[in-house]
Amino acid sequence: MATAKKEFRNYDKLDVNAAVREHYRKMRTNQTYDYVLRMKKKYLTFSRPMDLWDAMEKLNHLIDVSDPDLDLPNVQHLIQSAEAIRADNRPDWMQLVGLIHDLGKMMYLWGSDEDGTSQAEQ
C-alpha cells in the first residue's frame, strides 16, 4: 500500500466523509445491548461452518465503507495487519486478533448490511 502516512485515514473528501460518518452513525445508533443479544441468538448457532481461509476469502467480495483508503483485497489486509503486529514484537494472541479483526463483517453474507444494521435485523 503506497499511501503516505499523512494521507492515511483521510476522510475529508466529501463523498467518502459522508459515507464513513453515516456508517458509524448507524452503528452507534442501532447497535444497542438488545441488538447484541439478538445477533448472538442469530449467529451463535454454529450452523454455518467455514474454515478461516474460506471466511477471509469471502471478505474479498465486501466493499468496506469504513475503510475508504484501503484498496487491497480484504484477505491481504488481514494478513498485513497480523504481520505488522508480529514485526512489532507483539504477543501471539495479538497477532491472531490482527488476522481476524474484520471477520465479524461476514454477517453481510446472511443479509446484514456491512455494519450489521440492515432493517431486517432491527
Residue type present at position 101: H
Distance CA 10, CA 68 (A): 9
Distance CA 106, CA 36 (A): 15
State residue 1's pLDDT score: 45
- pLDDT tens digits for range 13-62: 556 677 778 877 887 888 899 988 988 888 888 888 889 999 888 888 77
Distance CA 44, CA 91 (A): 28
Mean pLDDT across the chain? 78
Report the SS3 class of residue 32.
coil
pTM of the model: 0.63
Helices 74-87 and 92-100 cross at an angle (nearest 10°) of 160
Report the SS3 class of residue 60.
helix
- pLDDT tens digits for range 65-114: 666 666 778 888 899 999 999 999 999 999 999 999 888 888 777 776 65
